[in-house]
Amino acid sequence: TLDHLPPEGAVSFENGHGHTKVPSIAVNLTAEDNLTSMEVRYAVGEGGWSEWLSFAPAPGASAMSETIGFADAVTDDGEYELRVQYRDEAGNESDVYTRFLTYDTAPPYNLQVTMDPDEDTFTKGPVAVTVSYSDNFSPGEETFEIHENGTKTLTVSDRAGNTASRSEERRVGKE
What's the whole-number mean pLDDT along residues 16-32?
96
Helix, strand, coil distribution of the chain in percent, nearest 5: 0, 55, 45
CA nearest 92: which of 21, 33, 150, 48? Answer: 33
Return mean pLDDT, the chain. 92
Cβ atoms of 111 and 133 within 8 Å: the answer is: yes
**pLDDT of 175:** 52
- Contact 138/156 with Cβ under 8 angstroms? no
Look at residues 173, 153, 174, 155 and name the one whose alpha carbon lies nearest to residue 164.
155
- pLDDT one-digit tens code per residue, 95-110: 999 999 999 999 999 9
Q: What's the pLDDT score for residue 59?
A: 84
- pLDDT-based confidence at 93, cuts 50/70/90? very high
- The answer to whether residue 144 scores a pLDDT higher than 90 is yes
Look at residue 174 and tell me whether its pLDDT is greater than 70.
no
Answer whether residue 160 shows pLDDT above 90. yes
State residue 1's pLDDT score: 64
pTM more than 0.85: yes
Chain segment 25-64, per-residue pLDDT in tens: 999 999 998 876 899 999 999 999 999 999 988 888 889 9
Q: Tell me what percent of the residues of the chain surpass a pLDDT of 90.
A: 75
Angle at 109 between CA 12 and CA 131, to 5 degrees: 85
C-beta of residue 102 within 8 angstroms of C-beta of residue 19: yes
Q: Give me the pLDDT at residue 21, please.
A: 97
Q: What is the pLDDT of residue 58?
A: 86
Give the rounded percent of residues in the chain with a pLDDT score beyond 70. Answer: 97
Q: Give the containing element (helix H, strand E) for 19.
A: strand 19-20
